[in-house]
Structure 1
Amino acid sequence: MVVVWDCVIMLLSQELFRLALKDAQLIHCFRLLQVVFFLLGWLFFMKQLFRDYEVHQRMVQILFSITFALSCTMFELIIFEILGILEPASRFLHWKLGLYLILFVLIVALPIYVSYSVLTSVPFVRRKWLLPLTMTSWMVFIYFFWKTGDPFPILSAKHGIFTIEQAISRVGVIGVTVMAILSGFGAVNAPYCYMTIFMRPVGGVHIAQMERKLMHTMEMIVAKKRRLCLLEKELAHSAFTRGSESQAGLFQRLWGSVSFSSNTLKDQISTLNVEIAPLEELSRYLFLEVVELRNMKDRLEYSKTWQGQYFNVIGHFFSVYCMWKIFICTVNIVFDRVGKVDPVTRGIEIAVKYMGFQLDVRFWSQHISFLLVGVIAVTSIRGLLITLTKFFYMISSSKSSNLIVLLLAQIMGMYFVSSVLLMRMNMPHEYRSIITEVLGDLQFNFYHRWFDVMFLISALVSIAFLWLAHKQTPITMEP
């Protein structure tokens, strides 16, 4: 009997050792993936955001890559939860660790470095005042960040002040707002960009006329600036001559004529500056018009290809989706409705109940949820990176590029934390528990209602804006 018991203990020990070894190997793979995510963020920073700029602050690149890696890790942990990879205790530990790290980056590291970067660019701020002013700016940020949650019912009353739920709830409000605004604009802008019905016909003759106007304006600016340089040179020469004459005590009789000539030159310079300013503004307007016309013509030519026709069909699909989403958001807001069952399980239950299919609801909901979460994760990351790239090139310059990247990293981190918070509704109940346990006792229904409200506002404002822009765009037919 003792021998049998020893054999059982030995077998159990071997099995536990094997499981521990397997879990350790999976943890090593998990950490390797985090390194891969960091390198992907680093590569995106160098090849997309800063391909036209020189990197002056390496810390900006490190913070952006860390934020990207931690954001992707949260999606990875959701997939691990569905597939049952790693032990539950290990997954919970990595959830907590990842969440604490990304909150530290979003609430402490990024705001402090943004404040430091802004203050170092101010010329009259002395070096000894950098640290006190940076910490003061961070405290101001913390105050307004904390006040963000006051108007919203985001927490249960039992939570204390210094809890992780307090931070997550406020990050969630900001992130859900950004996500809803981007989603609402994207749902409206995608059909507008890809559907041929919204494309204006543009003639090559009209583009040539606009280019001639632009070239004529540029020639006028060059001629006036050349005249301005000559007058400034003449003014400087007359001032030098006047100084030499006054020192020598000669030609005092000509003082009045020299002074009159100097005033005349100044008046001419002032007049030229007044004339050049509106011409430069006109040249910028004409340049943007030429670029817009060329883009419209390229879109028309692209729409005639097979790929363009495919995107035209996708545009119709997005139009239907946009109308359906606006309708559903309106219903949810009016009737205060929040889904209780995830869409995958609900769809399978309908197929089993009303269509007579014999399916294992639990089995298929797990695998389809895995695919759905994977698609949502990939499309969210891809869509946000594309949006960040466009926004960066729209507003950045060689001086402001580092600061803008830090702000985009802040938005990216909050966006992905909110994505995990909202993605909880797309998962079956057995997989929601870990997210609920990690994120804390938040008012999840509020975030879904808030998303619906902001999505509806963003979509309606985008429709109005694009309608006005489309209405004011002149039709230019090819003669």
Structure 2
Amino acid sequence: MSFSSCDESSCAPPTKFSLATLVSLTPFLATFGIVFIVSTTRLFPKLSQFGTGNGEVDDGEDHFLPASAPVSLKQAHHERYLARSSTRRRAAAAAFGATVGLATVLAELILAEIVEVVDPRIREVATRGTIGALVLLLVIVIPALETRSFIDAVGLGNWMRGEGRKGLKRFAWAVQLLVFGGWLAVFWMLGRAVPEGKDSHDYMLRENEGSFDASAVTVASARGASVEHGGFLNLGPGGLSRACLERIGVIGVALMALLSGFASVSTPWHTFIDDRAYKRRPVTDADIARKQVGLDATSEMLVTKRHRLRALERKLEASSGVSQSTSGLMGKMIGSLKGIGGAGGDAAEIKALRVEITGLEAMEASLQSSLSLLRSRQAAHARDGTVMGKLFSLPTYGFSIYCIYRILATFLTSLRRGTHPYSSFSSSDPINRFLGLIARHWDPKLDQIAWARQISFLLSGVILAASANSVLQTFHLFARLAPGLLRQAQANLALIIGQITATYVIAAALLMRSNLPHEVGRSVSDALESALEPAFVDRWFEGWFLIASGLTMLGIFIGRQIRASYVGGWDELEELDMEELGQKRS
């Protein structure tokens, strides 16, 4: 097989890392440094503060703080908590900053590839280093940090820090390793979703014939045609790096499909149904103040219960240590007397406290969600009364109509695929076609259909960003049904955002690899080593998009049914809970 594009730059030996190479990489290193500093010093503290809600009430050393404490005392308490958890917090901040910074550099490298700036061999070195670091962060580092956060959420964090017997510590570490190993197994099993190269290779040649030089696609597909991707331990021709990239691409496409499907349902629902219902009764300051009082009362009672639980647990640990140090018949007699004298009562009280704390945590999460929704609705209603608010309402209605059209068109396209296997929504969407025509006008050699597919994927990110407020409100609606979902998402909010950003950029780069003309260059193609085939991407994205849309509709319907089962909705239910809470406090 001959390669017509084996020019001086593409067939040159690998670039050796030297001082000149380092100087040439300065723009990319500067971009990474700036984004890393801004992410760790500006974005991460805000996301962490949002994730902790009202702040940590327990610094881990039996120092509890009620919600009504002075601001200066809260600040000192929060600094003490940060000092105690500085190692893990710094690791999370570094992982978040590095992920966002590397994702930005990768996007910069893709743009440099398109406009052909910077030496191709320098771009190759930068791209390989960026991709390798992102794979390490997305597969190992960030999941390990999220696993540790999950262990803390289920109450095993104190055991891992040595606060208890050695057996409990080993059990906690075993649970963490088991959860992390499960993530790695699921991540690797995603390779079964990637199709074999033969069918996709034929489709790509059929689709791209006559549009641009597809030799890069031919080589990549021919290399993978004889390799079965579904094997559990089969790395394929590209080795571990290529296998991980394919799986990250699969996750990235599915993730954006899920999020965009969730957003495509949330936006029309809030625009045409939910907002109109709440406009009949505007949110007042009294409503917000009443909800804030209930949240403060719940938080203070939760602090008291946690303090009592911690004291009883330390008491039992001390008594168990004394009983273990005493051996023989006398030790058994002392242990039996302690059980008669109240140790059994302490154990029963601990069990009851844990049940009460679980209920209070669910109530606190529900009140936080309600308070956040009330504040956002009050701000939205105040903005609607202004000239700018009325002006921006027109694009909102237009965007909501487009979301409805996207859902219906994707559903019809999936039905048509039974008779037309290669039909896709991206080839029939008017916005994608219009932007594809603009791209083709910019360069007649570009493939309009391929770029329409790329634009469709990029528009998914636009849909998610444009409907961020509606998505947040819908998520709070679901959080009332499952408060633990909200707490876990808030605890890892920064890491989750970093993961979404990086996987989205990598998936976009994998898609763009097969859309670029061959003469643009192959440094990004060689570093990515494999492209997700267009036919597979269309089926994978549209399938998950419809699943997310259907589940979101079902969740909204169930939530409205639960709300309708009470005369005054969830707000009245929360008022009853707060009245019961006041009786308990009194």
Of stretches 463-472 and 69-78 in structure 1, the one that deviates more from structure 2 is: 463-472
1:415 aligns with 2:543: no
Retained in 2: the 8 A contact 1:38–1:68? yes
Mark the CA change 1:315 to 1:423 in structure 2 (over 3 Å): closer, same or farther: farther
The equivalent of 2:407 in structure 1 is: 326
Mean Cα displacement is larger for which, 38-47 or 167-176?
38-47
Distance 1:37 1:402 in 2: 22
Where does 1:60-75 land on structure 2 (aligned, <5 Å)?
A: 60-75=92-107
- Gap change, CA 1:221 and 1:99, over 3 Å in 2: closer
2:112 maps to 1:31: no
- The one-letter amino acid paired with 2:120 is P
Question: Amino acid of the residue matched to residue 168 of structure 1?
Answer: L
Query: 2:444 pairs with 341, 361, 370, which one?
Result: 361
Q: 2:247 aligns with which of 142, 167, 170?
A: 170
Task: Tell me if 1:121 matches 2:157.
Answer: yes
SS of equivalent residue, structure 1 residue 123: helix
Q: Distance in 1 between matches of 2:294 and 2:442?
A: 72
AA at the equivalent of 2:241: I
Equivalent-residue separation in structure 1 for 2:134 and 2:299 (angstroms):
51
Structure 1: how far apart are the matches of 2:23 and 2:470?
Answer: 36
Matching residue of 1:300: 381
Question: Which runs of 5 or more residues in structure 1 are unaligned?
Answer: 1-19, 227-268
Hey, what does 1:84 align to over in structure 2? 116
| Correspondence for 1:199 | 276
Aligned residue type for 1:421: L
Structure 2 counterpart of 1:103, which letter?
V
The answer to whether the Cα contact below 8 Å between 1:329 and 1:452 also exists between their aligned partners in 2 is: yes
TM-score (normalizing by structure 2): 0.53
Shift of 1:62: 0.8
Looking at structure 2, the residues matched to 92 and 137 of structure 1 have their Cα atoms a distance apart, in angstroms, of 36
What does the per-residue CA deviation read over 1:294-323, in whole Å, with 9 as the maximum and x for residues that have no partner?
644543332222232233212222123213
Deviation at 1:90, TM superposition (A): 1.8
**Deviations for 1:365-390, whole angstroms, at most 9, x for unmatched residues?**
9xx99xx89x9799599679999999
* Counterpart contact for 1:70–1:102, Cα < 8 Å: yes
- How far did residue 82 of structure 1 move? 1.4
Once the two structures are superposed, what CA deviation does each residue of 1:417-452 show, in whole Å capped at 9, x if it has no partner?
223334557756655855443323344221232111
- Aligned mates of 1:115, 1:278 — CA distance in 2: 21
C-alpha spacing 1:343/1:323, structure 2 compared with 1 (3 Å): closer
Report the CA distance between 1:461 and its aligned residue.
3.1
2:575 aligned partner: none
- CA deviations on 1:80-135 (whole Å, 9 max, x unpaired) are 11111112222122222211111112222233444556488241664995998466
Contact 2:252 2:503 in 1 (8 A): yes
Q: What's the CA shift string for 1:239-286, capped at 9, x where partnerless? A: xxxxxxxxxxxxxxxxxxxxxxxxxxxxxx9xxx9xx99997889867
Give the residue type in structure 2 aligned to 1:310.
L
Structure 2: which 5+ residue stretches go unaligned? Answer: 1-17, 50-54, 56-77, 198-223, 228-233, 305-348, 570-586
Aligned-partner Cα distance in 1 for 2:428–2:358: 60
Cα-to-partner distance string for 1:385-409 (whole Å, 9 max, x where unaligned): 9999998999799999765544554
Which residue of 175, 181, 184 corresponds with 1:142? 184
Equivalent position of 1:440 in the other structure: 529
**Paired residue type of 1:459:** S
Letter in 1 for 2:136: F
Q: Is the 8 A contact 1:194 1:311 kept in 2?
A: no
Aligned to 1:199, the other structure's residue is in SS state: helix
CA contact (8 A) 1:202 1:296 kept: no
C-alpha contact (below 8 Å) 2:252/2:504 kept by paired residues: yes
8 Å Cα contact 2:263-2:464 kept in structure 1: no
Tell me which residue corresponds to 2:39. Answer: 41
1:451 aligns with 2:481: no
- Is the 8 Å Cα contact of residues 39 and 65 (structure 1) preserved in structure 2? yes
SS where residue 191 of structure 2 aligns? Answer: coil
Q: Following the alignment from structure 2 to structure 1, what is the Cα–Cα distance between the partners of residues 225 and 407?
A: 33
Distance 1:144 1:377, change over 3 A: closer
Identity of aligned residues (%): 20
Hey, what does 1:180 align to over in structure 2? 257
- For residues 418 and 352 of structure 1, the distance between their equivalents in structure 2, rounded to whole angstroms, comes to 20
Q: Aligned letter for 1:56?
A: S
* Offset at residue 32 of structure 1 (A): 0.9
Instruction: Please give the root-mean-square deviation of Cα atoms over the aligned residues, in Å.
Output: 5.7
Say how many residue pairs are matched: 404
Distance 1:164 1:221 in 2: 47
Asked if structure 2 preserves the Cα contact closer than 8 Å seen for 1:77 and 1:95, the reply is: yes
Moved more, 325-334 or 418-427: 418-427
- Asked if 1 retains the 8 angstrom alpha-carbon contact of 2:263 and 2:471, the reply is no
Structure 1-normalised TM-score?
0.63
Secondary structure of 2:86's aligned partner: coil
2:133 is paired with a residue whose SS is: helix
Q: Secondary structure at the match of 2:530?
A: coil
Q: CA deviation at 1:157?
A: 4.9
In 2, the alpha carbon distance for the partners of 1:377 and 1:182 equals 8
Residues 166-200 of structure 1: per-residue CA shift (max 9 Å, x gap): 11111122222211111112223234445688422
Change (3 A) 1:452 1:103: same
1:93 and 2:125 matched: yes
2:266 corresponds in structure 1 to 189
Q: Distance in 2 between matches of 1:93 and 1:178?
A: 28
Q: Tell me the residue number matched to 2:5.
A: none
In 2, are the aligned partners of 1:102 and 1:413 still within 8 Å (CA)?
Answer: yes
Partner of 1:258: none
Distance 1:309 1:150, change over 3 A: same
Instruction: Give the distance between the partners of 1:283 and 1:322, measured in 2 at CA.
Output: 33
Give, in whole Å, the separation in 1 of the partners of 2:552 and 2:86.
37
Alignment match, 2:576: none
CA distance in 1, matches of 2:271, 2:31: 36
d(CA) in 1 for partners of 2:537 and 2:514?
Answer: 11
Q: Could you tell me whether the CA contact under 8 Å between 1:217 and 1:279 is conserved in 2?
A: no
Distance in 2 (alpha carbons) for counterparts of 1:380 and 1:214? 32
Q: Whose radius of gyration is greater, 1 or 2? A: 1
Residue 316 to residue 87, structure 1, CA distance change in 2 (3 Å): same
Q: 2:529 is aligned with what amino acid?
A: G
Distance 1:462 1:422 in 2: 27
Cα distance in 1 for partners of 2:283, 2:433 equals 56
| Other-structure match for 1:56 | 86
- Secondary structure of the residue aligned to 1:318 is helix
Higher mean C-alpha displacement, 297-306 vs 125-134: 125-134
